[in-house]
Structure 1
Amino acid sequence: MKKILTGISFFHSLVFYAQSDHNKAVLSDITEKVKSYYIDKEAYKKVDSLFHNESKKGSFNSLSKKDFAALLTQKLRININDKHFFVKYLENYSPKKAVSEKEREEENNSHNRLENFGFENVLRLEGNIGYINFKGFASPQSSEKTLAAAMNFIANTHSLIIDLRENGGGDNEMLLLFCSYFFDKKTALYTTYLRNKDETVINSTQSEVSGQKYLHKKVYILTSKKSFSAAEGFAYFLQEHKLAEVIGEKTEGAANPVDHFIIQNQYLLLVPAGQIKSFISHKNWEHTGVTPDQEVKAGDALKVAHLKILKNILKTETKTELSIPEIKNLIDKLEQ
């Protein structure tokens, strides 16, 4: 019996040391990526100290790889105070052969197409009001036609509501393309400083787009605490340029762009590797979030925006498909 227990104990020791070596390699690689890419050049010292202390306490012992990744995400976000940090275990991941840009784009398209490139639905609400429920910024190469179709659909409305309450962000170029529909000419919105390359890039809207631009009309953007990254940027820049009113909850505050890395062929790591600055304020929404023009609970934001538009229709005597009594009746229903 003693020999069996000793054998089991020896096996457990092998597993423990193998896991320990694995964890050390992962932590070392993450620290190195932070040192080379993170926007704050000194932050890697905090990361190194964090990992050393947590390893000494045994925080990473006996965790599954999935839980290990989740704990790393939590620790990095809290200790570095940056919600863009992310670590995910890639189950059954295997390094792929080098693929062309076209093949990579098609692979991304296959996934994003299943979610209609973030466009959940596009509607015309009573009172001739456009409504776009947009949940994510896929690449503009894949999303351009769907975006154009959505904007063409709402082109004849007199006001527009863009719902970003469940939008977790995404592609920076798609952010610029969507913004382009609300600017009458090419406009420089912000700069991006890329630390690893030590260069600054100017980010501008496009003068021409595939669909119809939505100019000189009322635009309302709905936000929640889930609105993140590019979704925050969209609200921030249209609000800053006085092209839209933001209604809903203050957002989380994640402005800086990220780079993606594969760690030990098993984990995806996102590291904030740049810093953006608005051309108007020379600031961004990092840590502060986007403050709505009208702060209400996320669940009430759509109703509040709809009511605001309907009341403005009465005030300005804007012609719609509804008569004045019908508009007043609709207002009464929404207020109940």
Structure 2
Amino acid sequence: MITNEQIIAQGLDRIRAGYVFPEKAVDVDAEIRRRLDLGAYAGLDGPGLCEAVTAHLQEVCPDKHLRLLWTDEPQSLEPADQDEGRAAFLDLLRRENQGVRRVERLDGNIGLIDVRWIATADGGAAVIGAAMHLVASSSALVLDLRSCRGGAPEGAAMWCSYFFGDDQVHLNDIYDRTSGETRQFWTLPHLPAPRYTDRPVYVLTSATTFSGGEDVAYTLQAHGRAVLVGETTRGGAHPTVRHPVTEHILVTVPTARSINAVTGTNWEGVGVVPDIPVPADEALDRALEAARGGGNID
């Protein structure tokens, strides 16, 4: 039976080998091993071990994607299969209507799109386009990301593309430590629905908004294309790889980082800060108030 010491050692090996900031991985390794030597993890069961180690990892390195993760469902101990992981995510998106929960036309000719996941650009294009068709004639748009928990970077770029003109706009880059390559993300030249370029856009956020949802919110805010209303988001900007340690424990290692074309940085650890801070359950009313009052993003 694998011991807590062995679980921690394997997790730290993965972090040192893959974490996007190698120098921080050294600090993380030293601190967790110090606590291990002091007996901080002795006697903890699986979920308790994961909770304690994750808390200590994030004390040293406030990266919300850097975690020791417990899962009740047994996992394969084979190395993570990227194709299998992508297939599972695509299946989730199909079951969740490519992340689009609802589209409405509200009083005052204001469009509302509730997005729970950021779909891939290829698989989600038709549904995203259908949603944008339904709000194409609205006077203002509310994009509700309060329950959006993540998704695909290329899908985030597609969502953002609708709010810029035909000319390509450099949105952000993602640097990958494993390959040493930097991938650029630009607005798309062709979309399956009309662009929404000449009217106000309000993005709703909450403390639940994470990862891909934060990408859309941060990018539109940084480019001055939307007003953010709600709560500061969770703060997860680093694409991540999961490695099995036991059948029930995974270590999640951020291997890449986002770099916004305007700010030169991202929202990791700090979240996306709204322009109009209000409790999440008041965000829609506040955005509608601004939209109906002729509020704009200038």
Aligned to 1:27: 8
Query: How much does 1:233 deviate?
Result: 1.8
Residues in 2 aligned to 1:254 and 1:26: alpha-carbon distance in whole angstroms: 24
TM-score (normalised: structure 1): 0.79
Pick the aligned partner of 1:198 from 180, 186, 193.
180
Which consecutive unaligned segments of at least 5 residues does structure 2 have? none
Query: How much does 1:117 deviate?
Result: 2.6
Aligned to 1:121: 102
Whether the 8 Å contact between 1:129 and 1:158 is mirrored in structure 2 is: yes
Count of aligned pairs between the two proteins: 294
Establish whether residue 239 from structure 1 lines up as the match of residue 221 from structure 2.
yes
Query: How much does 1:234 deviate?
Result: 0.9
SS at match of 2:294: helix
Residues in 2 aligned to 1:84 and 1:174: alpha-carbon distance in whole angstroms: 20
Identity within the alignment, %: 30
SS at match of 2:258: strand
Establish whether residue 111 from structure 1 lines up as the match of residue 112 from structure 2.
no
Residues in 2 aligned to 1:86 and 1:137: alpha-carbon distance in whole angstroms: 22
The 1:177–1:289 alpha-carbon spacing in structure 2 relative to 1, beyond 3 Å, is: same
Whether the 8 Å contact between 1:25 and 1:264 is mirrored in structure 2 is: no
Using CA pairs below 8 Å that are at least 6 residues apart, which structure has the higher relative contact order? 2
Query: How much does 1:265 deviate?
Result: 4.8
Residues in 2 aligned to 1:27 and 1:272: alpha-carbon distance in whole angstroms: 17
Structural mapping, 1:144-183, within 5 Å: 144-183=125-164
SS at match of 2:13: helix
The 1:107–1:279 alpha-carbon spacing in structure 2 relative to 1, beyond 3 Å, is: closer
Larger radius of gyration: 1
Query: How much does 1:175 deviate?
Result: 0.8
Alpha-carbon displacement from aligned partner over 1:126-184 (angstroms, at most 9, x marks no partner): 11110011122233333222211211111111110011112222221211111111122
Residues in 1 aligned to 2:78 and 2:10: alpha-carbon distance in whole angstroms: 20
Whether the 8 Å contact between 2:74 and 2:247 is mirrored in structure 1 is: no
Q: Which structure's residues are more often helix, by fraction?
A: 1
SS at match of 1:246: strand
Greater Cα shift, 131-140 or 148-157: 131-140
SS at match of 1:42: helix
Establish whether residue 48 from structure 1 lines up as the match of residue 29 from structure 2.
yes
SS at match of 2:20: coil
Greater Cα shift, 293-302 or 278-287: 278-287
The 1:97–1:68 alpha-carbon spacing in structure 2 relative to 1, beyond 3 Å, is: closer
Pick the aligned partner of 1:253 from 216, 224, 235.
235
